[in-house]
Structure formats: C-alpha cells, structure tokens
Amino acid sequence: MLADVALSDRQREILDVARSLLAEEGADALTMGRLARRLGIKPPSLYKHFADRTAIETLLVAEGFEATARGLEAAGPSLAQLGAAYRASALAQPQLYRLMTDRPLARERLPAGVEERAAAPLVAAAGGDPDLARAVWAFAHGMVSLELAGRFPPGAELEGAWTLALAAFERAAG
C-alpha cells in the first residue's frame, strides 16, 4: 500500500502540492511546470524526485484507492451503504475521482494490492461475484460521473435512482 512506499520529505511535499493543484484546477493542471512554479523551483528539479508526471499521478490515484477502501470498509456491508459511501467520496473530491476513473489506469505502477483492497467490500457485498460487482461499480460510476458533470435535469430524484438500482443489485446478490 502507499504507506509501504518509501517517500522522501521532498517527495511528500511535491505530492501535497500536486494534491492541492489537482483539487483546485483538475488533472490537466498537473504539469511538471505548474508543480515546479508552485514549489518555487525549476521543472528539471522535479525529475530528481519523480521520473515523470505519471509517477505523481499514480501516487495520487493510489491515495484515492486507499481512501476509497477505508470509506467502503467503514460503510457497512450492504450495497446501499457502499453506494452511499462511494458517492460521498466522489462528490467530496471530484477532481481526484476524475483522475482515478476518467483515463487509463497504470495498474502496473500502482502499489501492490491497492486496487483490490478498494474493490473488496463491493465484491463481498455482491456475494463474491466479480461480474455483479463490476455491474454495480459501473452503475455507481455512471451515476457519479453524470452527477459531477451536471447532466441530470434540475430536481431529478437521484436518491431514488440510487435506492432503486442498489436494491435490484442486492436482490441479484441473493
């Protein structure tokens, strides 16, 4: 997990700045130039600490997976509880959520087990069925993505849609 990744104090500082820049301006703002300016250094200096932008983004994604895992583990065992926790997490940190889900995932660069830990509560709630878990995740991701994009009409009853769909998935999980 990320706690197992040995980072220098300077790397942690760079990640703190990257996290802030991401939250404020989104993934497109995470450039080595922007990070360097925020840190008051020249861009080549960043390469002494991280190989590239993807290395920084991967650590932020890993942090996001760990936070998701903690939130889902604490939420409770039902799909309704997991759905509420997943949605709350995404809405609380929309730019991190987008970084985690809107582009190809560099799985080979993630710390071992971090993605699996985030998925484990959902797989368990789906009765151990990974296909059902993927279907539930696809629903949750689609709902959250549409909500973040402002794609639902004003007054749309989103809570009702979540409740209806997750109850159907609960029945499927048996």
Digit-by-digit pLDDT tens for the chain (174 residues) are 565 678 999 999 999 999 999 999 999 999 999 999 999 999 999 999 999 999 999 999 999 999 999 999 999 999 999 999 999 999 999 999 999 999 999 999 999 999 999 999 999 999 999 999 999 999 999 999 999 999 999 999 999 999 999 999 999 998
Give pLDDT, residue 1.
52
Give the CA distances from residue 95 to residues 2, 18, 21, 91, 140, in Å, rounded to whole numbers and listed in that order: 20, 12, 10, 9, 17
**Longest alpha-carbon distance in the chain:** 57
Here the tokens at position 169 are: 């998935």
Backbone angles phi, psi at 80, to 5 degrees: -65, -45
Within 10 Å of residue 147's Cβ, how many Cβ atoms?
17
Q: What is the pTM of this model?
A: 0.92
CATH of domain 2-173: 1.10.357.10
Q: How far apart are CA 146 and CA 150, in angstroms?
A: 6
The Cα–Cα gap between 158 and 32 comes to: 38
Alpha-carbon distance of 18 to 23, in angstroms, equals 9
Other CB atoms within a 10 A radius of the CB of residue 6 amount to: 5
Question: What is the per-residue burial (b if ≥16 Cβ within 10 Å, else e) of 41-52?
Answer: eeeeebeebbee
- Are 147 and 91 spatial neighbours (Cβ–Cβ below 8 Å)? yes
**So what's the pLDDT on residue 3?**
59
Rounded-to-integer distance, Cα 174 and Cα 170, Å: 6
